[in-house]
Structure 1
């Protein structure tokens, strides 16, 4: 192996991981702006549109822990490349979807692919960058990919939807090909002989899917409907059984001992609440801009342009802040900025101007961009290197579960409140309060090692 090839390997692994992080984050939100157009073409009410989003996030969330175990057992590189290939194939399927049911199926396949690539991408960064300073910078790039995608996704959706809504899925294919082209320059990953927790995986998949289905059906058929109650009860029961099983099986997919680590407690709460807020906010924002303000898809996408640039800058700056001041300072700063952004939007009198939404998204995105790589770094530093894959999967599972539940919860709120303006204001207030809770927990109960 030449020295040039060897020196390029960490760069290739970091670049591939950052692109994958961008893809996984973008595909959650790029579809939001296109939903009204897709519904007009293929049909579907609010509940069906929620499933186009949550079909992706649910499978993404429910399979992340299994994917983390697969990454540890078969090697992060192999799992990562299989996920990238599946992502490209599923994107092509969605591009040519002929019905809403087919589109939801394709979105579920995309969720499976994202579950494979995301924990493996973090493991690749960990393997390729053993130096802590270099790893912090690589994680900042990885975080920049995911966080900027959250802002770029709606923008690209707005740009591509007027051409045809299918392009919001077709655009994934070149990115997948780029990842696969980097494969020869990524070093082989170690394999670890671990067992799979099939009982836990089955219970988690059933519990999360049925619970979110129940939440969505609250807005569709009502909380008191027998079908809604059955879904909620079965979902909760399955999740309770999942937690019980994790204390009894020989090889748990979610080792409960990791929850006793304060750094993991902070990171998991941050991951869940940040994405709960962000996905819910973007879902309601795009509905508000198009259905209440009657903006076109392109104009609605432009509202997210400032936050896209601010988020990218925040992630790149976040790596320097972590290196100079540590993860605790970065997390405190990022959460505080996000709270200010949500309160700024909430306290603005109705009707909420478009520029306020754009400014608030930018402030929140900047804070999230500083917080995300710091929280990811806390996960990797808090556990034994042998558990990096499963710990990364837990972190990303909590993020995606938060996103799926955020879309479901705020979608239900939108169906019961008198207007989307009221729904948006409720999102802003709830988000500020939840982040304030995490900030207090982080300041009072965790000290960086």
Structure 2
């Protein structure tokens, strides 16, 4: 055997192993960050009554502790997606993780509700920096479609499991002290930063900044999402809520018009003509609309109708966390074996089956039915989400990965805010939470069936 050939072979193997390491670090950092961003949406809910006893504040102020995070998160995603493309995903990701750690410490030492709301808004800004950059990091580190599918499955597992782990951690930490629900973020952020140091630098793609578009987009999203939130808080007869929503819709329409005239638009409208983007954006919106609405109404049902405590209610969501992580792993295998289109179709069908199972079960609805339904829906979502994210990244070139990821996640966050508000309004009009829960199950199944039909129609014959 030629010793030089052996040397070259060993060197090649060593080089391939070295090449895998940055991808592994990027995937791990992005997945942990996805978990953090998702967990911080829900972990504070359980602690709110205790926080209010210490710091004061009525129900509206408590709601803004939650919604201040979601509002800034959703409103800034498009800007941060552009920043990830212009400045480099790694730089923006590091900035977001650093701000997340600082804002978490600031929130944990809050001395008033106003300060806490400010801290939550800073956390929303940090999350907006992190999320599109995390998808771009995965895209850059995993150019091979099969490995990218696995990486996105792990990234999806981080975000999906957080929705169940968040309430549970909140229930465990709050009895010690409510500040721990924020302080717990810091060691996770430090781990993310350490992992990111081993990630290869991201390319910078400087381009003119669309100040008009960004101003209109930020203003429009803030007004619209605030209006949706206030409809859920103040009711459908609130002039303020509808005024905010109408103002936001008008401003967003002006933003879309500005994008047709801008020399370097911050949200290229041509992406909406890409078939894969159309499907992924619709899926992202409806899935999170249904999931957040279901979690919100289910939590109310378990605590108010079933008389369960906050920790016990949080435990109902734990099985779905494990099933969701398993689903993301299985989903990665399905994507690599059968493709994203098959995975999306299968995942949507499973979610529809889960919602129908809960809807058709005779009253009274047992707790195990809710836990089982959450797990089935979570399993379907775990298969669908990384496949949809993969479609987004495959539909655009590398230079637009950040803004495409931001568009996908913007639709998801707006869907989540709308789901809580809409289903919350439905609950106020129905006589019992049991009926509200059934309405959520039926409406969710119907919406997903429409998306499934839309997806099959879009890809028929392709």
Cα deviation, residue 176, structure 1 = 0.2
Matches of 1:355 and 1:80, distance apart in 2: 40
- TM normalised by structure 2 equals 0.92
Q: Report the counterpart of residue 184 of structure 1 in structure 2.
A: 197
How far does the alpha carbon of each residue in 1:375-429 deviate from its partner, in whole angstroms, 9 at most, with x for none? Answer: 0000111112221111111111111111122222223333333333333222222
Farther-moved stretch of structure 1 (340-349 vs 418-427): 418-427
Q: Report the counterpart of residue 428 of structure 2 in structure 1.
A: 415
2:225–2:414 CA contact under 8 A, matched in 1: no
How far does the alpha carbon of each residue in 1:66-98 deviate from its partner, in whole angstroms, 9 at most, with x for none? Answer: 111111111111110010010111111222223
Change (3 A) 1:30 1:235: same
- Count of matched residue positions in the alignment of Structure 1 and Structure 2: 449
Higher Rg of the two aligned structures: 2
How far does the alpha carbon of each residue in 1:239-284 deviate from its partner, in whole angstroms, 9 at most, with x for none? Answer: 1111111111112221111001111000000111111111122122
Q: Kindly indicate whether residue 415 of structure 2 is the aligned counterpart of residue 430 of structure 1.
A: no
Change (3 A) 1:33 1:448: farther
Change (3 A) 1:218 1:137: closer
Change (3 A) 1:140 1:221: closer
Change (3 A) 1:278 1:225: closer
Q: Report the counterpart of residue 352 of structure 2 in structure 1.
A: 339
**1:76 pairs with one of 64, 69, 89:** 89
Q: Report the counterpart of residue 273 of structure 1 in structure 2.
A: 286
Change (3 A) 1:352 1:181: same
2:358–2:373 CA contact under 8 A, matched in 1: yes
Q: Report the counterpart of residue 382 of structure 1 in structure 2.
A: 395
Q: Report the counterpart of residue 210 of structure 2 in structure 1.
A: 197
Matches of 1:380 and 1:219, distance apart in 2: 34
Structure 2 unaligned segments of length 5 or more: list them: 1-13
Q: Report the counterpart of residue 265 of structure 2 in structure 1.
A: 252
Change (3 A) 1:207 1:309: same
1:69–1:194 CA contact under 8 A, matched in 2: no
Structure 1 unaligned segments of length 5 or more: list them: none
Matches within 5 A, 1:116-155: 116-155=129-168
**1:169 pairs with one of 174, 177, 182:** 182
2:71–2:226 CA contact under 8 A, matched in 1: no
Q: Kindly indicate whether residue 351 of structure 2 is the aligned counterpart of residue 349 of structure 1.
A: no
1:50–1:408 CA contact under 8 A, matched in 2: no
Farther-moved stretch of structure 1 (78-87 vs 211-220): 211-220
Cα deviation, residue 45, structure 1 = 5.0
2:78–2:267 CA contact under 8 A, matched in 1: yes
